[in-house]
Structure 1
Amino acid sequence: MKGVSLLDQRVNTFMTVVDSGSFSRAAKTLYITPVSVKKQLDSLEAELGIELLERTNRGVTPTEAGRMYFESARQARSIMDASLQRARFLGGFAARRIRVGTSLLRPASKLLEVWARVGTESDLSIEVVPFDDGTELDDVVKHLGEDIDCIIGPCDAPHWHEACSVLKLGFYDCRVAVPRKRALACKPFLTWDDLCGESIMLVRGGESPVMDSIRAEIEGYHPEVSVVDAPRFYSIETFNYCESRSLLMETLDAWEGVHPGFVTIPMDWGYRVPFGMLYAKRASNAMREFAALVEKAI
C-alpha cells in the first residue's frame, strides 16, 4: 500500500482489513501474518480508545466509528500521496517510474507476472498504486497518466477503447458466483437447468459485448432465468448487494475469493472476457516504452 512511510503502518493495516473484509486476506496483501494484523489493529484501537472493527465468524466489518475513521484516513492518504508524487516529480524521480493501479477486482498481478519476465531489459521501475473500484474507477480511467499510468481489467467494453489505449493480455473465464448459503453452492459445475427459476445479475446491456451475448442467450433460450441489471461495472458493493439478497452473479475466474459470502462455480456456457492494460491515449514516452515491452512479452 502506498504512503506507508507517511501514514502510521497500523492505519494502513486497518484500511487494508476494511478493504479486504478479513484479517487473513489483509495479511496476504501486506505480506505479514494474520497474528501481526490482529496485533496492529488491537494496538490502534487501544491507542484511539474506540472500537474500529466488528469481528464475526464471517469476517470483519467497520463499526460506525470505524467507517468514519476509514474515510478520514483515506482522505489523508490521498493528500499525502499527491504531495509525494509532486515531490518526486520535482525531484526528477518520476520520469522512469510506471504507476500501475490495482484494486480488489482489477488486480495488477497478471501484468506484474509479465513484467517479471522482461523488466530486466529496461531501467523502468514499477510503483503499485491502490484505488477503489466503486468510487474511483471512472476518475482513474479519465485521468490515466496523472496519478496512475495504467490499470489491468476486463477490456471488451466499447467505452474503454474510446477513452484510452488498450493492450489485450489474455482472457478471463466467465463463471457464476453463488451465495454460500444456497444449495447450488455445493455443485462443482452448473448447467442452464441449475439456473431454472433463478435470478442472476449481469452488467447492464450495452456495456459489454460478452455480457450482451449471455443476456441474448438467456432471453432467447432460457426465459426461465431472470436477469437483474448490475451497475455499469462491478465493485465489492455489487457482491454485498447480491449476497444480502441471495442473488446469483455472473463473475470471472480472476475474482474467485474476493467475497467470503460467495462460491465461484464454472458454468457450461463457454463465455470469456478479454482483459488487458488500459493507459492514456497520449501516454508519456516511458509509458509507451513500457507498453511496447509488455506487448513483446505476450
Structure 2
Amino acid sequence: MDETRVEAFLQAVSTGSFSAAARAMGYTPAGVLRLVDALESELGVTLLERTSRGVVPTKAGEALVPDLRELAVLSGRVKGLAAEIASPDRGTVRLGSARSLAAHWLAPAIARFGDRHPGVTVQLREGATPELARWLTAREVDVCVGGPQQGRSWTYLGESRYVALVPREHPFARRPFLHLSDFDREPLVQIRPGRGTDTALLMAEEGVEPDVRFSTADIETAKAMVGAGIGICLTIDLAGPVEAFGAVMVPMAAIDPFRFGVVHRGEGSLSAATTAFVEELVSLGA
C-alpha cells in the first residue's frame, strides 16, 4: 500500500479539506484528490465524501482511519530504523564483552568511537565467553569482544597475560610467579562462579580445587576482597591496577595468555554503525 496515498487520505480527514491537505503535503488539491482516488480504487471502497462542512470520511473511511494511522506510524518507524541501519552516525551498537576487558581495554575504543560518531549509542553487556556466545546467537547483542567462539569467525585484537591478585602481606606476594597448582586448596576470591569463565576452566583442566571463600561478578569488588585478605584471585592483567586495594599482581607461569578478539554473526548482520565500531576495535588492536 502506497504510504503517500495513505497520508493524503489522513491529511484530508484531519483538515477536512483537499486544499488544506495539499498545503500540508506540498501538493496541489488535484494531486491530493488523485492520491485519495487511487487509494479508494486499491481498497475497493469510498473513503471520503464532500459535504457542506467540507470533506468527511464515509463509514468505511471512519472504520479504516485507526488502522491506516497505525500503518502510517509503522511506516515512519521502518523508515527511521532503515536510516539508522544505513548510517554510521545514527543508531545503537549492542556490545557484549568479557568482563575483564570492559573497563580498561574497551573504554578507550568506546570513547574514541563516541568522539567520531556522537549520534551512536553503545550499550555494553558484560559476561563470560559462554554467555557472550548465547547472547550473540539469540541476537541480544550485535558484536562481542572476548575469546574465540566455536563455529564463528573471530578477528584477533590482542592478548593479556594471566596474573594472580594477592594480598600485599601474603607469602605469594614475594614470589616472582605462581603456578596453577598454587591455587589448589588456597582461599580464593572467584569471579563469576559457575558461568564457564576462562579462569575457572583453566583450574578445572589442571584438577585444581581452590577453597572458594568469596564470589562476585565485579572485578573491582574482587580486588577489594583480595586486598582485605579474604583470598587470592586468578584473572588477567587487563583487569587494571590493584595497589590501591592493598593487593599486588603476581604473573602466572606456564599459562598461555588470554587471546581476545571481535566476533559477530557476519558482515550482513551488522548495521553501518556497528560496522564502524568493529573497524574502530580492529584499528585499536592493530
If the length of structure 1 is used for normalisation, what is the TM-score?
A: 0.44
Larger radius of gyration: 2
If the length of structure 2 is used for normalisation, what is the TM-score?
A: 0.45
